[in-house]
Structure 1
């Protein structure tokens, strides 16, 4: 009988927001495929302090090498459960893991995602924007001109399809992106800025672009999700 591949969410902040069943399952797993061994070891020791674990229990995820991917699933093929962990949030949601998971499906290995924090979904939940139709776009172009063009295209898509547009940025570029959003979006487009999701310092605010312009908000170098929606009619 084949083992299971558990998709394990990890911390997105200093808070531990995890069901007890996640800890119970992690305690039964002895082999993990991870994005970073040091980060994952610290995470498991924090939420399962009684578990005996070391770097020997980890293999680093390498989705560019199908031989390594196949080898990492070998234990599942022989009946042992393994866990997939990335550095923050949910594997395969704006994180590595897709190829390993797909390879598991191709080999009829049972894939079991566990419940845990996703800053993208939590930001969407708290935004007040359309959660029935939304698109996650990852990172926008770094080049300023290309980014401006992309923002305007996504705004048209949002308006035509009644679709919320979600994206992220490297923290040190947050302010530059925020300024470009204010400069390129229509004044009546709604923009949500969600910072430090899941932490004690989290802040989620949605306003029309014209209000953001008057507020002169400073976006620090903190993990931030940006969402906008064009064409909404308020009460």
Structure 2
């Protein structure tokens, strides 16, 4: 890093609730020379809310190449600049990637400040596994391309995250239902951090039904989180019979172990099957 250069600060801004900006972000915004923003009006509203007065230049997908040289030159001339998006963390489905890459090439220090991010906020409250996931941004708006994209993710084992617009949500759910199956679990997070925030964990079929019956308002910013593909393991009738016989004499664990050795099958799979069957039999007795 060349010491005489300025720094580029990547600053996350609130996705709804203004109080979600960090103390550190406000402090840096007060100190930098100017702000490169995706949306002038929203950034100005944020600055006014915290009594910050700084020049703003626009940096969006249509002028990123055009303004790149100016910003880089200003950084080389020791100016400190903040990069902000319309809402959330810059470059996550937003402009700024080209600028950051060029900073690395020119040995200009890039300093990211943690903060609000819609996909992580939604994922944390989704009830769907979050240890492995993929983010696919917005699905294509064209019907054929959207269907093709969804089909390509049918067997994705990781949790899948999309942004979707309120205008296309019903069509997308119909496509998902057809390819992923009606019973695949999905969480829809709408208008996060706002007063009318809504987070629902449900099956694709039931979510589609609610939208069609107008039980969910088709408005607002939407994050869809879909559980990954799980291969269904079928237990043959022969194995089921062995389990049934052995379970008359042994515990569930011992039965699963012996059956797995006889039929060369996974012990854990058999044990889960026995547990499920035991619980099902108990419920039948209660009824």
Q: TM-score with structure 2 length normalisation? A: 0.71
Q: Distance in 1 between matches of 2:141 and 2:222?
A: 16
Match of 1:149 in 2: 148
> Larger relative CO (CA 8 A, sep 6+): 1 or 2?
1
Summarize deviations over 1:134-161 as a string: whole Å, max 9, x none: 11111222233432332232121x2xxx
Q: What RMSD in Å do the two structures reach over aligned CA positions?
A: 2.4
Match of 2:172 in 1: 177
Greater Rg by CA: 2
Matched, 1:84 2:83: yes
Residues 59-208 of structure 1: matches in 2 within 5 Å?
A: 59-61=57-59, 66=65, 68-156=67-155, 158=156, 162-208=157-203
**3-state DSSP of counterpart to 1:135:** strand
Structure 1 regions of 5+ residues with no counterpart?
A: none
Q: Distance in 2 between matches of 1:83 and 1:213?
A: 41
Summarize deviations over 1:27-83 as a string: whole Å, max 9, x none: 10121111122221121111x21x333xxx122215656463021122221222100
**3-state DSSP of counterpart to 2:230:** coil
Residue 75 and residue 213 in structure 1: after superposition, are their counterparts in 2 closer, same or farther (change >3 A)?
closer
Residue 226 and residue 67 in structure 1: after superposition, are their counterparts in 2 closer, same or farther (change >3 A)?
closer
Matched, 1:225 2:236: no
Q: Distance in 2 between matches of 1:39 and 1:224?
A: 19
Point out the structure with the larger helix share.
Answer: 2
Summarize deviations over 1:96-142 as a string: whole Å, max 9, x none: 11001111111111111112111111111111223222111112222
Matched, 1:38 2:41: yes
How many residue pairs match? The answer is 226
Contact kept? 2:189, 2:222, Cα under 8 Å? yes
Contact kept? 1:33, 1:83, Cα under 8 Å? yes
**3-state DSSP of counterpart to 1:80:** coil
Q: Distance in 1 between matches of 2:36 and 2:210?
A: 45
Match of 2:264 in 1: none
Contact kept? 2:36, 2:83, Cα under 8 Å? yes
Residue 109 and residue 150 in structure 1: after superposition, are their counterparts in 2 closer, same or farther (change >3 A)?
same
Residues 211-222 of structure 1: matches in 2 within 5 Å?
A: 211-212=206-207, 215=210, 217-222=215-220
Contact kept? 1:175, 1:218, Cα under 8 Å? no
Q: TM-score with structure 1 length normalisation? A: 0.85
Q: Distance in 1 between matches of 2:172 and 2:104?
A: 38
Summarize deviations over 1:216-235 as a string: whole Å, max 9, x none: 55352210001112328999
**Range moving further from structure 2, 195-204 or 64-73:** 64-73
**Range moving further from structure 2, 188-197 or 138-147:** 138-147
**3-state DSSP of counterpart to 1:128:** coil
**3-state DSSP of counterpart to 1:16:** helix
Q: Distance in 2 between matches of 1:149 and 1:179?
A: 13
**3-state DSSP of counterpart to 2:154:** helix
**Range moving further from structure 2, 211-220 or 100-109:** 211-220
